[in-house]
Structure 1
C-alpha cells in the first residue's frame, strides 16, 4: 500500500471539517434536546463554530426567531427583478394524466 501525500490528505480532511462561522441553534428548555418542531415557543441559543468550539452568539425568543437568525433574508430585491407572488405552474395540476400515481379512469 502506498502512502498518500500529506497535501492530499490535508485537503480531504479540510473538506470534512466544519467551517468557521457555521451557526446552529439549541433549545434552552428543560430536559434533553428535542426536535425543533416539538417546542416551537421555547427560547433558543444561537451558537457559532469558531474552528475549535461552539461559542454562544445570542439568545432568541423562539423557533421562528432562530430560523431568521440562521437564515437571514436579503435586504432588498434588485430593482429589475419582480417579486414572486405565488407558484408558477405550467399546466393545470388537476388535469387528467397518464402517470402511475393517477387513479385509473373507468
Structure 2
C-alpha cells in the first residue's frame, strides 16, 4: 500500500510534520510543545485563570418575562447574586439599576468624580475638524 502526503491547506505556511500532532503555545516563555507533554502545573494554572473567582457578584432583574439587558427596565428591582465557588447564592436585593451598580462597583462613584473634574485642553494648531 502506498501513502502520499496531502498538500497543505490553502493559506497555511506548510504541512505539519508527521507524528508531531497538535502544538500548544505556552504563555511562560513562548515555547511550544505537544499537549500531551504539558506539565500538570501549567495546565492547572491555565484552568485556574479561566474559572470564576469566589465572591464575584452579578445582578438579575426581578421583572416578569425573560431576562433582558439592564437598561431595558432601569426601575425594576435587582437580585444581587454572589458566586461561592460552586453556585450563585443570594446576597441582597437592590431597589433599581442605579442601586445595583453601586453594590457591584463600590469604588466607581469616586472614580467618576475624579474623571469629571479633569477636562482635557486642545493643543495649538489647526486640525481638520477643529472650529476656527
- Could you say which residue in structure 2 is the equivalent of 1:79? none
Deviation string, structure 1 residues 26-67 (Cα, Å, up to 9, x no partner): 001011000000000000000001111111100111000000
Gaps of 5+ in 1: 77-82
Alignment root-mean-square deviation, CA: 2.6
- Could you say which residue in structure 2 is the equivalent of 1:90? 121
Give the C-alpha shift of residue 73 in structure 1. 2.9
Do structure 1's residue 35 and structure 2's residue 69 form an aligned pair?
yes
Do structure 1's residue 73 and structure 2's residue 107 form an aligned pair?
yes
Distance 1:44 1:57 in 2: 11
Distance 1:29 1:58 in 2: 16
Normalising by structure 2, we get a TM-score of 0.61
Give the C-alpha shift of residue 89 in structure 1. 1.4
Which one has more relative contact order, counting CA pairs under 8 Å at least 6 apart? 1
Structure that is richer in helix per residue? 2
Question: Looking at CA atoms only, which structure, 1 or 2, has the larger radius of gyration?
Answer: 2
Normalising by structure 1, we get a TM-score of 0.75
The size of the alignment, in residue pairs, is: 92
Distance 1:40 1:85 in 2: 23
